[in-house]
């Protein structure tokens, strides 16, 4: 069939189709299979998907069921049907039985890591049901005092995906931690290499979240050399230059409240900060969540408070944002329920997803392949269709 259609026309047609259809069309003929698997076409399809603002973005939600105490991954469209139905995904860590967390998302790829001292991590494209386990790095996995912080992003300069791994060694004498090693994985080489870091003084918080914005990964960290209360800042790692830099947080006004924690996130295409604030009176503990956005990246003066989530003790954590501006929040304690909060009307939408240990990340469908992938859900042929489930209380 393709003999009667010019290649450029065929590419224009196929590049507009969803991933599920393209996976099926790879079976039409050898020439179509070769075209769809070509890196140039994958990039064309990815760019068209990213530029199409009419397509609903997808949200992947990881949580631990409060009933079976099992970890689940579900995916749903971020549109009017949000969480009415979801795709139940079998995550790559399911087979090993390890607990995992989502490190980050970029161009349809997700980076996952375990909670163990082994520092195991992998890349996963849920749209094509493929994953790639990252090789062992230069750390000694026998040391039970090691703790790891990961970051994931894309280097536009060399068209490569990278994973940063920061290892700390707990110092029980001082109660602090000592930097052990910083390593960088690149997908193109499928290997780790050390990153030269001079006078790295930052301390990361346990299970800190990360945000990939403007070609850099961001975390909230602490500089012990600074005075108490002013030592909290954002640490960024530029995936292109492969250097760390500091970014100051917004100038918070306490107003008699206690700032308990800070987290980074992505709002639209901008770097955002979620400031957790609570009353100083324990008997009437009420939390507010202030959302700040860096309107012009790298310009500290451009930090702007976008809105505040009105304090309610039933809100325990902010996970992220929907495209319509709603804030995704965990309501309640253990277990909690995933809800959407409209900061303009203060209305709450309930989605019937209950559990613990929630992670929420935005991703898009893509054909981004993982060469040398060590896991597919079907040992022969193409990935099977996902299991779509109507939400009746996940």
- 145-177 confidence digits (pLDDT tens): 778 899 999 999 998 999 999 988 766 555 556
What pLDDT was estimated at residue 390?
Answer: 43
Backbone phi and psi for residue 151, each to the nearest 5 degrees, phi listed first:
-140, 145
What pLDDT was estimated at residue 264?
Answer: 92
Beta bridge partners of 105: 110
Peptide bond into 185 cis (omega under 30): no
Sign of torsion over alpha carbons 171, 176, 180, 185: positive
What tokens were used for 243?
């250097």
Tell which residue, 65, 118, 41, has the closest CA to residue 352: 65
CB atoms within 10 A of CB 241: 12
What tokens were used for 26?
């790879």
Greatest Cα pair distance in the chain = 76
Cβ pair 351, 83 in contact under 8 A: yes
**Distance in angstroms (rounded) separating the CA atoms of residues 48 and 58:** 16
What pLDDT was estimated at residue 312?
Answer: 59
Burial label for 358, CB within 10 Å (0-12, 13-18, 19+), is buried
Burial label for 169, CB within 10 Å (0-12, 13-18, 19+), is middle
Low-confidence ranges of the chain (pLDDT < 50): 1-2, 256, 283, 372-390, 392-394
What pLDDT was estimated at residue 245?
Answer: 92
The contacts of residue 89 (CB under 8 Å, 6+ apart) are 60, 73, 74, 75, 126, 386
The predicted model scores a pTM of 0.85
Cβ pair 25, 34 in contact under 8 A: no
Task: Classify residue 263 by its DSSP letter.
Answer: E
**Distance in angstroms (rounded) separating the CA atoms of residues 338 and 353:** 6
Block residue for tokens 């451009």: 302
What pLDDT was estimated at residue 386?
Answer: 42
Instruction: Tell me the HSE value of 205 on the side-chain side, using a 13 A CA sphere.
Output: 18
């Amino acid at each position: 069939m393709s003999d009667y259609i010019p290649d450029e026309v065929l590419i224009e047609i196929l590049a507009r189709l969803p991933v599920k259809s393209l996976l099926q069309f790879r079976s039409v003929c050898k020439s179509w299979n070769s075209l769809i698997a070509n890196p140039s076409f994958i990039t064309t399809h990815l760019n068209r998907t990213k530029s199409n603002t009419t397509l609903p973005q997808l949200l992947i939600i990881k949580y631990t069921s409060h009933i079976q105490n099992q970890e689940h991954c579900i995916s749903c469209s971020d549109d009017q049907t949000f969480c009415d139905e979801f795709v139940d995904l079998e995550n790559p860590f399911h087979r090993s039985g390890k607990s995992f967390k989502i490190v980050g998302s970029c161009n349809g790829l997700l980076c996952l890591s375990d909670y163990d001292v082994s520092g195991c991590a992998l890349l996963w494209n849920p749209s094509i049901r493929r994953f790639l386990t990252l090789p062992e790095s230069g750390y000694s996995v026998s040391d039970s005092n090691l703790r790891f912080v990961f970051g994931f992003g894309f280097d536009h300069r060399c068209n490569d995906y990278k994973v940063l791994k920061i290892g700390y060694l707990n110092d029980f004498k001082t109660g602090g931690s000592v930097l052990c090693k910083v390593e960088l994985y690149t997908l193109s080489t499928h290997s780790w290499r050390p990153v030269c870091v001079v006078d790295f003084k930052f301390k990361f918080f346990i299970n800190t979240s990360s945000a990939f914005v403007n070609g850099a990964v961001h975390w909230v960290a602490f500089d012990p050399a600074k005075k108490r209360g002013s030592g909290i800042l954002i640490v960024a790692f530029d995936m292109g230059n492969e250097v760390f830099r500091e970014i100051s947080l917004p100038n918070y006004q306490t107003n008699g409240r206690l700032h308990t924690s800070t987290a980074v996130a992505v709002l639209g295409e901008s770097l955002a900060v979620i400031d957790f604030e609570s009353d100083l009176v324990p008997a009437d503990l009420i939390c507010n969540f202030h959302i700040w956005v860096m309107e012009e990246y790298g310009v500290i003066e451009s930090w702007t408070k976008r809105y505040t989530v009105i304090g309610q003790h039933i809100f325990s954590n902010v996970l992220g944002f929907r495209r319509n501006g709603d804030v995704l929040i965990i309501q309640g304690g253990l277990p909690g329920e995933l809800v959407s909060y409209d900061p303009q009307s203060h209305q709450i939408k309930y989605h019937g997803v209950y559990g613990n240990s929630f992670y929420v990340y935005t991703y898009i469908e893509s054909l981004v392949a993982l060469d040398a992938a060590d896991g597919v859900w079907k040992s022969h042929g193409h990935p099977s269709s996902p299991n779509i489930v109507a939400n009746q209380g996940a």
